[in-house]
Amino acid sequence: MKTIKKGFLLLTVALFISGFGFAQTTLKIGYINSNKLMSTMPEADSAQAQVKKYAAGLQKQMQSMAQEYQSKVRDYQSNVGTMSDLIRQTKEKEISDLQQRIQAFQASADQDVQKKQQELFQPIIAKVKNAITAVGKEHGYNYILDVSQGVVLFYANGDDVTPLVKKKLNLK
């Protein structure tokens, strides 16, 4: 029993000393503002322009559908007094169906724009992530935090690695 207590005590002391030694290890922490970095990348500007062009095409289609809807509503309102019940019901159904198609198109268009944006930016994000990882390894960083995401409240004692990542990406 005494042997077990002595062994446990020695193990506890050894763990305490080794834990204290690990606690004295300094961490090298850097930070980066990925939004600022991305804004300096020409391929990000190109991708954003493609997304805007794609969205503009969808918006043009949406406007065309809205004009058709307004035209049908005006026609219905100006002729409702002279329409038979069957024609009135048919026109109301046409207007209602077109309104539903417009709403469905809007929802689908929003999703398509997000999908297109993700598709175009994914390779750029991967390129930046690879550069950050390479800088972290080359310069011995334990952590590199992204301050643009708002997860860091204080970073004055860290190193801004943005210039190193820009150099890795051949940006000015």
In this structure, what token pair is assigned to residue 123?
């390779």
Instruction: Identify the residue whose tokens are 């007094």.
Output: 81
Taking Cα atoms as reference points, which of 49, 94, 53 lies closest to residue 72? 94
Residue 161 to residue 141: CA distance in whole angstroms: 10
Strands (E), the chain: 29-32, 143-146, 159-160
pLDDT for position 29: 85
Residue 144, strand partner residues: 30
Q: How confident is the model at residue 142 (pLDDT cuts 50, 70, 90)?
A: confident
pLDDT for position 43: 93
How wide is the angle at C-alpha 162 spanned by C-alphas 157 and 166, nearest 5°? 160
pLDDT for position 25: 64
pLDDT digits (tens, 9 = 90+) for 127-139: 998 998 888 888 8
pLDDT for position 136: 87
Question: Burial of 164 by CB count in 10 Å (0-12 exposed, 13-18 middle, 19+ buried)?
Answer: buried
Please measure the distance between the N-terminal and C-terminal CA atoms of the chain and give it in whole angstroms.
69
pLDDT digits (tens, 9 = 90+) for 48-74: 999 999 999 999 999 999 999 999 999
Instruction: Identify the residue whose tokens are 């999703």.
Output: 111
Element (H, E) at 42: helix 42-79
pLDDT for position 61: 95
pTM for the model: 0.68
pLDDT for position 156: 53
For residues 154 and 48, the model is more confident at: 48
pLDDT digits (tens, 9 = 90+) for 81-105: 999 999 999 999 999 999 999 999 9
| 81 to 16, 78, 84, 92: CA distances (angstroms) | 92, 8, 8, 13
Q: How confident is the model at residue 19 (pLDDT cuts 50, 70, 90)?
A: low
Does residue 22 carry a pLDDT above 60? Answer: no
Mean pLDDT (the chain, rounded)? 83
